[in-house]
C-alpha cells in the first residue's frame, strides 16, 4: 500500500510539471546557496586560523605563568632547558621556536614609536613562523647582533629604510633601562597590523643581552602536524607542558577573537538557515495548497470511495517528500558545483581585514562533510514536514462539498 502511495504521489507531482520544476529549483537554489555560504565561511575561517597561526603565533605557545596577562619580562619560562628537551622528544610536536618579548620604544632620526621587541631564534623560527618569507625588502637574520627587522608600516611611521639606524629602548629585568643601536636589515609585510606596525625583531641572543636575561626565554611557539590539534583540548600536550610553573595554550585561547569570529559565523549560518528553511516551508505549503485546491474533486472522490483521512494526509506528505527529494538533489548538485568551481578559482575580497587578520589572498571554499550534511537533511525533513498541514486540510474535506465546489 505504502509503495503504491509513493508511486501515486510521484505521478501526482509531475501533473503540474512547471510548478514542480520551479519549486524544486527554487528550494534547490536556496539549499545550494546555503551550502556554498557554509563552505565559504569554512574557507574563510581556515584562512584566518592559518594566517594567524602560520604567520607568527604557532598552533600553541608555552609561557611562564602570568606572563601573558602582565607582559612582565621577569616572568620567564621556568626550567627552559627541560621544556625545550621535552619538546624535542614529543611526538605530537613538529617544530618549535623560543622567543624573548618585551615592551620597548623604537627611535629613528625623526620619530619614536612604541613596539614589542621580539628576540627571534634564527635557526628554528623559519620552521614555525612566516617572518623569513614575509621579508619584503632586505634580508633575514644572518647572526649579526645589530640586525633589526621591522614591518613596513613601522618603517613608514619611523620614516626609516634599509640600513638606517634605529635605537631600541627597553626596561631591563630587575631595574634600569637599556638602549641599543640596530640597523634595519629587513622590512617585512605580514598583512597583520600588530606585526607590521608594532613589532621589532632582533636576534634572540641580542635581546637576552639587552634585557639582561641571557639564557632565559618568555615564549615558545609550537607547530603541530595539523592546525586542528591546537584546538583539541583532549591532547596530552597541554598537561605535559603545563609544568614547572609554565602554561601551554592552544590558538583558540591565544587568539580568542578568532574563536569569537567562528562562533559568530556559526550563529550567522544558523540565522541564515532558519530564514531559508522558513521560506522553504512557506513556499512548499503554498505550492501544496495550490495543488490541493486544484484537486478538490479528486480528494472528494478519494474520500467517497473509502480512503481514510490518514491515507490522504500521508499521500500529500509523500508528494511533499518527492518535492523534497527533487529539491535536495537539485540543491546538492548546485551547491557542489559552485563549491567545486570556486574552490579551484578562489574568491578575492581585495584587502579586507577581519578581527586584525588581513584577508589579502583569495578565499577557497571548503566543504566539510561533518558540517555541510545538515543542510540537505534539514531541507529533506522540513520540506516533507511542510506537507503535513496541507495534508490534514485535504483529509478533512467534506467529500460532497469538495465535489460540489470544484464542479
Partner 1 sequence: MTDNDVIIAEGVVKTYDDAGVPVHAVRGIDYTLKKGEFTAIIGPSGSGKTTFLNVLAGLDTPTEGKVRLSGKLISDMSGRELSDFRRDHIGFIFQAYNLFPVLTVEENVEYVMLLQGIPAAERHDRVMSILEKVGIAEYAPRLPMQLSGGQQQRVAVARAMVSRPSLIMADEPTANLDSTTSGALLDMMRQLNEETGMTFLFSTHDEIVMSRARKIVILRDGRIDGKASSDEY
The residue ranges that bind partner 1 (CB under 8 A) are: 1, 4, 8, 11-12, 14-15, 297-298, 301, 303-309, 311, 398-401, 403-404, 407
Instruction: State the sign of the Cα–Cα–Cα–Cα dihedral 80, 128, 253, 99.
Output: positive
Minimal distance, residue 378 CB to partner 1, in Å: 29
If the CB atoms of residues 7 and 71 are measured against partner 1, the closer one turns out to be 7
Looking at the Cβ atoms of 3 and 70, the one nearer to partner 1 is 3
223: left (phi over 0), alpha (psi -120 to 50) or beta: beta
Beta carbon nearer to partner 1, 274 or 400? 400
Based on CB atoms, which residue is closest to partner 1, 73 or 403?
Answer: 403
Angle between helix 309-345 and helix 296-304 axes, rounded to 10 deg: 140
Q: Burial letters for 231-242: b for 16+ Cβ neighbours within 10 Å, e otherwise?
A: bbeebebbeebe
328 three-state secondary structure: helix
Non-local CB neighbours of 275 within 8 Å, separated by 6+ positions: none
| Minimum distance of partner 1 from residue 304's CB (angstroms) | 5
* Cβ closest to partner 1, residue 92 vs residue 307: 307
Least CB distance to partner 1 at residue 17 (A): 12
Shortest approach of partner 1 to residue 293 CB, angstroms?
16
Count Cβ atoms within 10 A of the Cβ of residue 386 and give its class: 0-12 exposed, 13-18 middle, 19 or more buried: buried
DSSP for 156-212 reads: HHHT--TT-EEEEEEEPSSS-EEEEEEEEEEEE--S-HHHHHHEEEEEHHHHHHHHT
Grid-cell match 523534497, residue found: 324
Ramachandran angles phi, psi of 305, nearest 5°? -85, 5
Q: Nearest distance from residue 11's CB to partner 1, in Å? A: 4
Nearer to partner 1, 369 or 407 (CB): 407
CB of 393 to partner 1, least distance (A): 15
Q: How far is the CB of 327 from partner 1 (least distance, A)?
A: 20
Give the bridge partners for 116, in sequence order. 103, 199
Among candidates 67, 356, 360, which has minimal Cα distance to 195?
356
In whole angstroms, how close is the CB of 47 to partner 1 at the nearest point? Answer: 51
Nearer to partner 1, 16 or 92 (CB): 16
Nearer to partner 1, 4 or 18 (CB): 4
Decide: 74 and 218 in contact? Cβ < 8 Å: no
Amino acid at each position: 500500500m505504502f509503495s503504491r502511495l509513493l508511486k501515486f504521489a510521484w505521478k501526482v507531482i509531475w501533473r503540474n510539471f512547471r510548478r514542480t520544476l520551479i519549486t524544486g529549483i527554487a528550494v534547490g537554489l536556496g539549499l545550494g546557496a546555503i551550502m556554498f555560504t557554509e563552505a565559504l565561511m569554512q574557507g574563510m575561517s581556515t584562512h584566518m586560523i592559518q594566517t594567524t597561526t602560520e604567520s607568527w603565533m604557532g598552533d600553541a605557545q608555552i609561557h611562564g605563568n602570568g606572563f601573558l596577562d602582565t607582559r612582565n619580562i621577569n616572568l620567564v619560562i621556568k626550567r627552559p632547558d627541560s621544556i625545550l628537551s621535552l619538546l624535542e622528544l614529543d611526538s605530537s610536536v613538529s617544530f618549535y621556536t623560543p622567543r624573548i618579548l618585551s615592551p620597548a620604544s623604537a627611535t629613528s632620526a625623526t620619530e619614536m614609536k612604541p613596539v614589542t621587541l621580539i628576540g627571534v631564534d634564527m635557526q628554528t623560527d623559519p620552521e614555525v613562523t612566516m617572518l623569513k618569507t614575509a621579508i619584503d625588502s632586505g634580508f633575514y637574520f644572518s647572526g649579526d647582533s645589530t640586525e633589526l627587522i621591522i614591518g613596513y608600516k613601522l618603517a613608514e611611521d619611523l620614516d626609516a629604510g634599509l640600513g638606517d639606524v634605529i635605537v631600541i629602548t627597553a626596561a631591563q629585568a630587575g631595574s634600569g633601562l637599556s638602549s641599543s643601536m640596530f640597523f634595519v636589515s629587513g622590512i617585512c609585510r605580514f598583512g597583520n597590523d600588530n606585526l607590521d606596525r608594532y613589532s621589532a625583531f632582533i636576534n634572540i641572543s641580542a635581546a637576552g643581552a639587552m634585557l639582561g636575561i641571557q639564557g632565559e626565554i618568555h615564549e615558545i611557539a609550537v607547530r603541530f602536524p595539523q592546525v586542528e590539534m591546537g584546538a583539541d583540548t583532549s591532547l596530552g600536550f597541554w598537561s605535559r607542558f603545563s609544568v614547572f610553573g609554565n602554561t601551554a595554550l592552544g590558538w583558540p585561547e591565544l587568539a580568542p577573537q578568532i574563536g569569537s569570529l567562528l562562533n559568530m559565523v556559526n550563529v550567522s549560518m544558523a540565522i541564515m538557515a532558519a530564514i531559508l528553511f522558513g521560506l522553504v516551508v512557506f513556499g512548499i505549503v503554498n505550492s501544496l495548497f495550490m495543488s490541493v485546491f486544484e484537486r478538490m474533486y479528486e480528494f472528494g472522490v478519494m474520500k467517497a470511495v473509502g480512503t481514510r483521512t490518514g491515507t490522504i494526509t500521508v499521500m500529500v506528505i509523500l508528494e511533499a517528500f518527492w518535492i523534497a527529494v527533487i529539491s535536495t538533489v537539485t540543491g546538492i548538485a548546485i551547491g557542489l558545483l559552485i563549491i567545486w568551481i570556486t574552490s579551484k578559482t578562489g574568491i578575492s575580497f581585495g584587502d579586507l581585514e577581519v578581527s586584525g587578520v588581513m584577508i589579502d589572498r583569495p578565499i577557497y571554499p571548503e566543504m566539510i562533510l561533518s558540517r555541510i550534511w545538515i543542510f540537505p537533511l534539514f531541507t529533506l525533513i522540513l520540506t516533507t514536514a511542510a506537507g503535513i498541514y496541507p495534508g490534514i486540510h485535504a483529509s478533512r474535506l467534506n467529500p460532497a462539498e469538495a465535489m460540489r465546489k470544484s464542479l
